[in-house]
Amino acid sequence: MNLAPLNVALVGVLGLLGIGMYGLLMTRNLIKTVIVLQILVKAAVLALVMAGSAAGQIHLGQSLALTVIVADTIVAVVGLALAIQVRRRCGTLDVQALATLRR
């Protein structure tokens, strides 16, 4: 088995994971939060395809990846819809400002 592409994919997964985590920790904008969540999920999709290929069950990996993409799209849609509602009702998308609203 040729390991080179697998290693490349692994670097990709870790890179996406890192970017997603960093974004999630740092961003204060709800729309951006949805975007970094998408990046995180893309890391998971890539990891699934990679793992399927490594285990010799490429079809399983691909079908799981497809399932994740579908579910993830719904998450993105709902998340963005919520963000729009929050913006309309509270006038801000800043999560720290939103946290202080409860008091």
Partner 1 sequence: MPSIDLTTILTLLTVGFLWIGAVAVLWAGDGRRQMQNLLAAGFAVAAGLAALGLLPLATGQAVVRIAMGSFFGDFTFVPDGLGVFLAAVATVVGSLAVIFSIDYMHEEAQLGRYYALVLFFIGAMAGLVLAGNLLLLFLFWEMVAFCSYALISFHNDDPKAVAGGIKALVITQLGGLGLLAGVLTAYATLGNYQVEYFLANAHTVPPAALAVIAFGFLIAAAAKSAQVPFHTWLPDAMEAPTPVSALIHAATMVNAGVYLLARFYPAFADVPGWRTAVMTVGVLSALLAAGLALMATDLKRVLAYSTISQLGYMVYAVGVGAIFASQFHLLSHAVFKALLFLGAGAVIHLVGTRDMQQMGGLGRQMPFVRNVFVIGALALAGIPILNGFWSKELILEAGFAGGPFAAYVIMLAVAGLTALYTFRTVWLVFFGPPGADSPSRERNPAAGDAPPAMRVALGTLVLGTFVTWLLAGPFGNLLEIGIKGPAFGHVSSTLRVVEEVLAAPTTLIALIVVSLGLAVWYWRAKLPANATASGAAGFRAWFARDGGFEGLNHAIAGLIQGSSEALRTTQTGQLNWNIVGIAGGLAIVLAILALGA
Q: Which of residues 11-70 bind partner 1 (CB under 8 A)?
A: 21, 24-28, 33
Q: How far is it, in rounded angstroms, from Cα 56 to Cα 44?
A: 18
Distance CA 55, CA 86 (A): 44
Give 66 or 101: the residue with its C-beta nearer to partner 1: 101
- Per CB under 8 A, the list member of 1, 4, 74, 99 interacting with partner 1 is 99
Whose Cβ is closer to partner 1: residue 22's or residue 81's?
22
Q: How far is the CB of 95 from partner 1 (least distance, A)?
A: 4
* Residue ranges in contact with partner 1 by CB under 8 A: 21, 24-28, 33, 95-96, 99-100, 102
